[in-house]
């Protein structure tokens, strides 16, 4: 598979995974028993505890694991050296920093 197709395939699979995962803006909201409570906030104002939807969220959590930190950080550093800055990289960095 050529590099362009590799990137598009990875993006398509990430989109498909996100589509079947509990939607919304996930935020921590204290503790649920002894584990952090994670609540998904939808744009229309409803909420859902992510723990209640484990079947839909387990694959997302496993996919977006700490194993992605190094390649994503490398991508952001590489994108920072190119002018103009890739709008996708900037949007990703803004979304990430809003949660860290």
Q: Are residues 69 and 43 in the same domain?
A: no
**Domain limits at 74?**
65-100
Q: What is the pLDDT of residue 52?
A: 75
pLDDT attached to residue 20: 87
Backbone angles phi, psi at 36, to 5 degrees: -60, 140
Number of domains in the chain: 2
Query: Do 58 and 28 share a structural domain?
Result: yes
- Give the tokens for residue 18: 């996100």
pLDDT for 32 equals: 66
Q: What's the pLDDT score for residue 94? A: 92
Residue 90's alpha-carbon distances to 30, 42, 84, 93, in angstroms, are 30, 23, 11, 5
Tens-of-pLDDT digits for all 100 residues of the chain? 777 787 788 888 888 988 888 888 888 887 767 777 888 888 899 988 887 777 778 888 888 888 888 899 999 999 999 899 999 999 999 988 888 7
16 and 56 belong to one structural domain: yes
């Amino acid at each position: 598979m050529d590099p362009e197709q590799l990137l598009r395939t990875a993006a398509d699979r990430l989109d498909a995974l996100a589509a079947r995962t509990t939607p919304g803006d996930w935020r921590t909201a204290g503790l649920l028993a002894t584990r952090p409570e994670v609540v998904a906030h939808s744009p229309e104002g409803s909420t859902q505890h992510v723990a209640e939807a484990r079947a839909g969220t387990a694959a997302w959590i496993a996919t977006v694991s700490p194993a992605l930190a190094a390649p994503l950080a490398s991508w952001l550093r590489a994108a920072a050296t190119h002018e103009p800055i890739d709008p996708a990289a900037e949007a990703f960095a803004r979304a990430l920093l809003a949660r860290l």
